[in-house]
Amino acid sequence: MPKLLRKAVLPVAGLGTRFLPATKATAKEMLPVVDKPLIQYAVEEARAAGIEQFCLVTGRGKTALVEHFDIAFELEATLRERHKTRELQLLHDAASEPGSIVTVRQQVPLGLGHAIWCARAFIGDDPFAILLPDDLVLADTPCLKQLADAYAETGGNVVAVTEVPREHTNRYGILEIGRDDGRLVEVTGLVEKPDPAVAPSNLSIIGRYVLLPEVITHLARMERGAGNEVQLTDGMAQMIGRTPFHGLRYEGRRFDCGDKVGFLEAQIAFALARPDLAPAIRKFLREYAEVPA
């Protein structure tokens, strides 16, 4: 029986330069899709996969992320006085169980691998999930729940994967693959941002992982990889052959909200999935569709 998966690390210390000036004084992960910040989607998805303990890897200017999960006492009191029960419920949904969220500071954004290493005391000897809040997945079964089930099945590392156009392999962590049953793929190698000419496949890792704690030992060596950053992909690659390692072709649609076009597409897709908003959105989309390119 693999150890139960109860912990998640959410790295949120990046600079979000692609969203400047919006991210000058606010965290990228606080940007809303429809009416909920990215970070709340990630925490709700993790809760739906049985996660009970969260570690936010934060940096300077990211305090709003922690505030978001606190109890907003004065706001609640005012809403109660005004009998705004629906809004009160929204506040409660955002708050976390006392003591369930801890934070560590990355101090200097040296890369995703470094951010995960900063959470080493929280991880201890337990398996853990990683969710990059700027990747949003719209799915019937939450993406991390699909990964958690695959972890329970395989007892090893599992990463969510999707096919990308071959000419884009230099933007992502790419898998070298062995056995493939169409859903689970055996991982035989991992490369961060390979040139399309040498990429071992076009299967890319998205921002959802379930990893064994051994990865910390490899990250601790602080070896610099692509972009001179400490890459999580390189740390994970060193576990291949020592522990089971699979890619999961998840069911659902992923939006890269760290990118402007992906972020705008997510607004439309998530709004269309909301019965209260869908008719109005559909109406204006039709009008825009008539605009010549």
Interface positions with ligand UTP (CB under 6 A): 11-18, 28, 57, 106, 109-112, 114-115, 132-134, 258
Closer to ligand UTP by Cβ: residue 58 or 154: 58
Helix (H) or strand (E) holding 271: helix 260-272
Helix (H) or strand (E) holding 1: none
User: What is the 3 state secondary structure string of 159-224?
Assistant: EEEEECCHHHHHHCEEEEEEEECCCEEEEEEEEECCCCCCCCCCEEEEEEEEECCCHHHHHCCCCC
User: Least CB distance from residue 221 to ligand UTP, whole Å?
Assistant: 17
Burial class (CB in 10 A: 0-12, 13-18, 19+), 1: exposed
User: Least CB distance from residue 230 to ligand UTP, whole Å?
Assistant: 8
User: Least CB distance from residue 17 to ligand UTP, whole Å?
Assistant: 3
User: Least CB distance from residue 151 to ligand UTP, whole Å?
Assistant: 21
Closer to ligand UTP by Cβ: residue 5 or 132: 132
Closer to ligand UTP by Cβ: residue 156 or 173: 173
Closer to ligand UTP by Cβ: residue 112 or 239: 112
Nearest to 110 by CA among 208, 24, 259, 223: 223
User: Least CB distance from residue 76 to ligand UTP, whole Å?
Assistant: 29
User: Least CB distance from residue 171 to ligand UTP, whole Å?
Assistant: 10
Pair 43, 55: CB distance under 8 Å: no
DSSP SS3 for 264: helix
Closer to ligand UTP by Cβ: residue 16 or 247: 16
Closer to ligand UTP by Cβ: residue 16 or 235: 16
User: Least CB distance from residue 149 to ligand UTP, whole Å?
Assistant: 24
How distant, in Å, are the alpha carbons of 71, 77, 127, 179, 228 from that of 93? 10, 16, 26, 42, 40
Q: How far apart are CA 101 and CA 23, in angstroms?
A: 23
Nearest to 59 by CA among 106, 100, 117: 106
Q: How far apart are CA 191 and CA 176, in angstroms?
A: 8
Closer to ligand UTP by Cβ: residue 154 or 204: 204
